[in-house]
A and B are shown apart, each in its own frame.
Chain A
Amino acid sequence: MTTTSVPIQPAVQVNGVSRVFPGRKGVSVTALDAVNLTVAPGEFVSLIGPSGCGKSTLLRLIADLDTPTSGDIEVFGKTARQARIDQDYGIAFQQAGLLPWRTVTGNIELPLELHGAGKSARRERAAELIELVGLTDFAAHYPDQLSGGMQQRVAIARSLAESPSLLLMDEPFGALDEMTRERMQNELVRICAETGAAVVFVTHSIPEAVFLSNRVVVMSPRPGRILDVLGVNLGRMSDRGENLREDEEFFHSVSRVRELLHGTTPTGARGVETR
């Protein structure tokens, strides 16, 4: 496991976390088995693996939407629960999950409204975020008037509303077509460079993981384990652009992740049957 030797507090610290779901007829499912992971502040980490490898479960545990069976999770040195209560993270799901009866502005204002921000401050912040995700002309639209990609951009703007230092994203581009997806990835890279937030990003797309991340965490299923963590040397977030997709190092990293997923490395005997 790569441990950052920097003295600063990690954004996320996962220590020996397991999650066992009690199944029917006493057959329990081990979604995660003794997982360790550290995410540094400002770092972009992708979790990748075949379905059922527990990557979404791990994200939900970090978000305190679920509790681990054993082990513990720290977010900025606090318990995951305290971090949730303190609103230390913003989250985006695979479904945009917008409220259909609120406009784009209303949806982005929702977290601010719940946490007691004033009306004018809310309006201002929402306008700022709408500009950041390039939806200025659609501020007064309702979600069902927007395309899937636009809805997902609203969801990302909403997750950024309270300027969190940690972003948790569960396959946010999973339901989008390839072209929209790549455009959204470019935007996400730009947004991350601008906000400097740490990101834990769940995906099942290898190029997506490589393009976005500083490190790619490759996971295997049944039980969910971390196979390997791969550093991606593609430079700083702010320098990453469309032409990076043609880069030699990009292809190299993609094939390394693919090899890991297919289990051709000595550590990866597990999980062969799924890919």
Chain B
Amino acid sequence: MSTGTGTRAVLAAPAPARDGAARTGWARTVLPPVLLGVVAILLWQGLVTVLAIKPFILPGPFAIGDQFVANLQNVLNGSLVTGRNALIGLVIGAVLGVLLAILSALARIFDEMAAPIVAAIAVVPIVALAPVLYTMFGANAETARQLVAALAVFVPVYFNTLKGLRMVRPVHRDLMRSYAASSWQATRAVTLPTAVPFVFTGLRIASSLAVISALIAEYFGGPVGGLGKSITSAASSSNYGLAWAYVLGSILLGLLFYCAALGLEKLVSLRRPTP
């Protein structure tokens, strides 16, 4: 778990007036991966063309690109369905994770009760629950997929938040005691703000998990329309280029979620003014 980055971002001092450095830094961090990507795509296309690889084994990137552009509306619609499930799951899982972590941090007993259950949730291949959930909520509803995403999100959010809540520095604890602050006052003034960067680190990890879980859950049944279902149906009708176009769509959707969470994390950890 990369909770360390969260703390470091908070502790990092502001660096004023490094505009020029930032611009060259940007070029240095963005250019190499883009270049590598272009080279890889050209190499891929070259291999497919030269070796005459059959499209059902591996279509060329240009063919995939063609299909992607031609079916942009379908890919978008699929992304909307899957993205909506992932987002609802993310919100439910995150809210539950944060609330239960606060409860665990406040009451030792609750923590001891919850620990084995949370560990069990962390170990269970959550996506495997999908078929069971489909029978519970009916095969026509998206509920099962959203629940699968929520469960997947819950675990990293819970653990990261709980860790953050326990990161209160001893000097701050002494200070709150010297102020004769009530436990709720101490929680609000010190514990929660200390935990916030950790919560967002958990959210960043959870964001891509939400998309993956919502998408994989589609493989096990439920209504048509999402990216997962589209990938399977395109592949089974031998439309390999289209299947790959949907895969590309799901990668982009996952990236969108991840980048949004990352941006939020950066925004929060920059510096938080007094409420």
Q: How far is the CA of A142 from the CA of B10 in the complex (A)?
A: 12
**Interface residue B8 (Cβ < 8 Å from any Cβ of A):** no
B179 to chain A: which residues have CB within 8 Å? 87, 110-111, 114-115
Q: Chain B, 233-275, contact with A by CB distance < 8 Å: what is the 0/1 string?
A: 0000000000000000000000000000000000000011110
Residue count of chain B within 8 Å CB distance of chain A:
22
Of the listed stretches B20-28, B155-163, B169-177, chain A binds B169-177
**Interface residue B224 (Cβ < 8 Å from any Cβ of A):** no
A60 to chain B: which residues have CB within 8 Å? 174
Q: How far is the CA of A106 from the CA of B179 in the complex (A)?
A: 15
Q: How far is the CA of A115 from the CA of B189 in the complex (A)?
A: 12
Residue count of chain A within 8 Å CB distance of chain B:
27
The distance from the CB of B249 to the nearest CB of chain A, in whole angstroms, is: 39
Q: How far is the CA of A176 from the CA of B112 in the complex (A)?
A: 43
Which of A89, A97, A103, A114 lies in contact with B185, CB distance below 8 A? A114
**Interface residue A215 (Cβ < 8 Å from any Cβ of B):** no
**A 85-137 contacts with B by CB, 8 A:** 85, 87, 89, 91, 93, 95, 97, 99-103, 105-106, 110-111, 113-115
Which of A85, A103, A144 lies in contact with B273, CB distance below 8 A? A103
The distance from the CB of A62 to the nearest CB of chain B, in whole angstroms, is: 11
Judge whether A65 and B274 touch: CB under 8 Å: no
**Interface residue B50 (Cβ < 8 Å from any Cβ of A):** no
Tell me the A residues contacting B by CB distance below 8 Å. 60, 63-65, 84-85, 87, 89, 91, 93, 95, 97, 99-103, 105-106, 110-111, 113-115, 142, 144-145
A–B complex contacts, Cβ < 8 Å, 24 sampled: A60-B174, A63-B178, A64-B177, A65-B174, A84-B177, A87-B179, A91-B174, A91-B178, A93-B171, A97-B171, A97-B174, A99-B172, A99-B190, A99-B193, A101-B271, A101-B272, A101-B273, A106-B274, A110-B189, A113-B189, A114-B179, A115-B179, A144-B11, A145-B14
